[in-house]
Structure 1
Amino acid sequence: MPILATQPIKAVYALLAVVYELTRFPIWVLLYTFRVGRPHKSWTFSQALRMRIVKSFLAHSSTVRTKTKLSLEPGVEGDRFTIINPQGNWAYKGPLADTSIRPTKIGAVWTPSALQRSQVDDADVVLHFHGGAYVIGAARDADLGFTTRTFVKHSRITHVLAPAYRLSSNAGGRFPAALQDAVSAYMHLTDKLRVPPSRITISGDSAGGNLALALLRYIHDHGKALGLPWPGCVWLWSPWVNVHAALDITSISSSPQYSTDYLGPTFGHWGASTFSEGCDPMDPYLTPLGNAFESKSPIFVQTGRAEVLYDDNVQIAEEFRAKGASVQLVVKEGAPHDIILVAPVIDFVRVAQEAAKEAGEFLRENRLTAKL
């Protein structure tokens, strides 16, 4: 663990970081008052200032490695919170049969309410994995509420299930912990609740998009043997598809879009180094870029033209299209990384809502209905 992530040095650093950023704040305000001073010409003053604040906060949080604690208590979500128990060992094959990382029970949150068995035939369920470089983030309303409510209202689906998968910033959270949890969550829908696979959309933003692709690959590799069906659709929101590249701390800062995104080098490096610990970061389950496979499920990819992962997102869409998948790539001009998650924080709500509407239309027009 880096020395800056240990107490009391962590607390001292945090205090100094606050003081440092407060001294720079008036400069940002003055600079962004004029359009010529904003990182992107289409941004408003509010967007530019909020992006600067988020970028600084994320950089400092990554330096001291602020962790997300996961709880199996219902909390404010009440009866919308559920416990997902793992399947038997038979369900976790190949890369999931790890000798030290074992499947365990996890929490998950339903929006707008828990799905009942009597509703499954008419339901449209999105199984959504949150972003956060596998080191931060949560499925709770405080973190993911905007995303899940936006799906219900603007994508016009009936339910969202958001699993609180294990994070690599916590003990026992390296690969394949999150993928084990993803398999458990998917089988919770298909086996326990008996939701028709055509009524399930696997979705994920940023690192959650990486996890969604890993789950889809697992269905491709082991679905037939395990009875895991292809989902009706897949949504990828600014997916993180090159974990290996993030191990090079200079990779993000060399992006042409670095100045117009809030992602910095320390955040991705923290996630990549802890998530891939003891594993090959080039493994297709970790780095899907350059490792596309045949997908029977249609794939929707949304990316921002101003984000550092833009080029990777375009490439992954092209690679899956070349493999024969039905793919729609939606590019939002001027948008930074992962607007479906952080839109309220950085003032991109309207753009995120528009993207969610397009995802819903793609689902209804391309849903996989055949029993494959």
Structure 2
Amino acid sequence: MAPPKQAYQDDMPYAREPLKSLYVAQRLFTTLILGIWWAAYYGVMPRSRRPRPSWSIKCCISVNFTRRVYRVTELAGVTWGVRDPDAPCSNRSLKHTRFEWVDPLPERLRSGVIVDSQVPFKRVGCFVWPKERPKIIPSCPDDEPCSPAAETSSDDTLNVDIESAAEEPVIGIFMHGGGYCHMSAHENSSTSKIPARLMKDKAFTEIHAVEYRLLQHAPFPAAVQDAAAVYAHIVQRHQRHATKVTVTHDKAKPAEEDESGKAIKVLSDYLTVNATDYQERSKNKRENDEIHARVAVETANLGCKIVLIGDSAGGNLVLALARWIRDEGLLPPPHALLLLSPSCDPSHAFPETPSSYLPRPHANTDYLVDTPEPRALLQRTFLGHNPLETMHSPYVSPASMRVLTAFYGDAFAASVADLTIAQMDTHTRRFLRTMDSAPATPVPATPVLGFSVPAGLVTGPPTFASSAASTSDGRSPTSLQRPVIASPRGLSLFSEFPRACVVLGDAERLEREVTKLVGAMERDGVGVHTVWVPDAPHDVLMMGWWDERVRDTVWGEIEDWVLKL
């Protein structure tokens, strides 16, 4: 069943029939004709006349063709490669994956920005690579997917495995790209080239491609809810159980010793932590340190390594999920993030004034379009009922100038404002790491996201928190009814984030914002391995026509990084 017509399509000139069909038909026809012209033109002209001299004729045609097709979304609201997230998929129709349902996120884990009375928690479909479950992956009773909502005892007694597994599987959770309006997790989707290649090269034991809800089906935070449900599902499946150890919700007892004198690891129950209790206890640095130490123990007792993978908008979702896991402290963090041309500043479509809009770079070398009005319509639909200020939340636009200024101050924001790959050398990175995190003097009151702070009371990054009480609909103080820009535990923007591998082409339109992301992550001590792809457009690993030698080099670097985990 096709999704209902969205409100944003009412403002698009060719979104109504019969103009829609006529526009799409002529656009495709003229693009095919232009394809012949491009082949002849670039075949005759010297390489210096190509968008990048290193590009083959096939690369030139691929970028120009895709750019014209993407324009159809802006003017006619056409989406492609999508499927209904509520629809099942027969495993008989799948060659390389198996389809599984994951239960909705358990109520005990529902806290923070993902709680929204107008966005229900739902079960989530996953396309799991490979088709046959590897023997190292634990099976659940009756061969059914493990439910993260499985009940535990009412007391504080937990089952903990003392011995580590002989071999730890590396589990990937893949969030596909497509601007939150295109593509799907199905194995035939264009973005599925990414998990397919990672599995072919045996970089991962298993990859769960998440069929999260696109903006046509539900607004933010639906996609984060779906990603969190799959993450909790994998955590539940790979918990180790063997020896009983008693812990409390406040903190674990001191490490006991077995008969041989070896310390017994204690694992607290991160699947049954009460969200309200957590929020009341997470008020200061001491409790932040306790939570950090507890989560470290939980991670050590998790029988696998989890890597969050995302390309383009999927990278945006990976960053939001990693932030929710860190901020709420209810689940162990992932082992690493693999970000492929991540979208990290959607707020770019909402300039302070029309005259302050700065076009993204590389208009002639990338297929992404950058017209602010259509992008703003899509982003507004993505926000749904949430206030427009939510677009400047770290959960949506972590690399926006407003967020960077709030956390690090004007000096840092100015230093990364126009940073490019070519400028991201050792000297620049050392400078970014050693800068002051925020102004050293009190900051005057500044209304951001609907909040203000009394002048003279702020000596660090501004925090714009709501009252401690929950809202009338049961949403937590960090909910997006009153969005906040700071971490609820007073952390910096990317502190306590897992290590990351970031892939980015120096010919793509997201170069500036992704470079800001890398600078901010390195500033907060995150171990970032950057793979700069010369002359590559956006999300080059999922493109159909490109230089395979270039892509093989990138895949090699990614796989080496995964092996070192």
Q: Is 11-20 or 159-168 further displaced after alignment?
A: 11-20
Cross-structure match for 2:445: none
For residues 91 and 285 of structure 1, do their structure 2 counterparts lie closer, same or farther at Cα, with a shift above 3 Å needed? same
Give the C-alpha shift of residue 242 in structure 1.
Answer: 0.1
Q: Is 266-275 or 6-15 further displaced after alignment?
A: 266-275
Residues 1:327 and 2:327 are matched in the alignment: no
Give the C-alpha shift of residue 17 in structure 1.
Answer: 1.4
Match of 1:275 among 377, 382, 402: 382
Cross-structure match for 2:546: 347
| Whole-Å separation in 1 of the counterparts to 2:135 and 2:314 | 27
Match of 1:191 among 218, 222, 236: 236
Cross-structure match for 1:31: 41
Residues 1:58 and 2:70 are matched in the alignment: yes
Match of 2:183 among 127, 137, 145: 137
Residues 1:151 and 2:261 are matched in the alignment: no
SS of the equivalent of 2:380 reads helix
Residues 1:165 and 2:220 are matched in the alignment: no
Match of 1:233 among 326, 336, 350: 336
Match of 1:222 among 317, 325, 328: 328
Give the C-alpha shift of residue 296 in structure 1.
Answer: 4.3
For residues 114 and 298 of structure 1, do their structure 2 counterparts lie closer, same or farther at Cα, with a shift above 3 Å needed? farther
Query: 1:274-304 deviations in whole A, cap 9, x for unaligned?
Result: 2123342001100111363213411111100
Within 5 Å, which residues of 2 pair with 1:53-132? 53-67=65-79, 68-70=82-84, 71-74=87-90, 76-77=93-94, 80-115=98-133, 118-119=136-137, 122-132=168-178
Give the C-alpha shift of residue 116 in structure 1.
Answer: 5.5
Match of 1:245 among 345, 348, 372: 348
**Rg comparison, structure with higher value:** 2
| Whole-Å separation in 1 of the counterparts to 2:228 and 2:51 | 40
Q: Is 11-20 or 71-80 further displaced after alignment?
A: 71-80
For residues 257 and 155 of structure 1, do their structure 2 counterparts lie closer, same or farther at Cα, with a shift above 3 Å needed? farther
Give the C-alpha shift of residue 273 in structure 1.
Answer: 2.8
| Whole-Å separation in 2 of the counterparts to 1:105 and 1:66 | 27
Residues 1:357 and 2:556 are matched in the alignment: yes
SS of the equivalent of 2:561 reads helix
For the Cα contact (< 8 Å) 2:177–2:310, is it kept in 1? yes
Which amino acid letter does the alignment assign opposite residue 258 of structure 1? A
Root-mean-square deviation (CA, aligned residues, Å) is 2.4
| Whole-Å separation in 1 of the counterparts to 2:496 and 2:375 | 27
Which amino acid letter does the alignment assign opposite residue 213 of structure 1? L
| Whole-Å separation in 1 of the counterparts to 2:121 and 2:60 | 42
Query: 1:236-290 deviations in whole A, cap 9, x for unaligned?
Result: 0000000100346999982331110000025744542321233420011001113
In structure 1, stretches of 5+ residues that fail to align are 368-372
For residues 309 and 325 of structure 1, do their structure 2 counterparts lie closer, same or farther at Cα, with a shift above 3 Å needed? same
| Whole-Å separation in 1 of the counterparts to 2:534 and 2:322 | 28
Query: 1:144-173 deviations in whole A, cap 9, x for unaligned?
Result: 3321121123462222110010000x13x2
Which amino acid letter does the alignment assign opposite residue 551 of structure 2? A
For residues 69 and 8 of structure 1, do their structure 2 counterparts lie closer, same or farther at Cα, with a shift above 3 Å needed? farther
Aligned-residue sequence identity (percent) comes to: 25
For residues 153 and 357 of structure 1, do their structure 2 counterparts lie closer, same or farther at Cα, with a shift above 3 Å needed? farther
| Structure with higher helix content | 1
In structure 2, stretches of 5+ residues that fail to align are 1-8, 139-164, 241-301, 408-492
Give the C-alpha shift of residue 198 in structure 1.
Answer: 5.0
Aligned residues: 359
| Whole-Å separation in 1 of the counterparts to 2:94 and 2:552 | 23
Which amino acid letter does the alignment assign opposite residue 302 of structure 1? V
| Whole-Å separation in 2 of the counterparts to 1:23 and 1:203 | 37
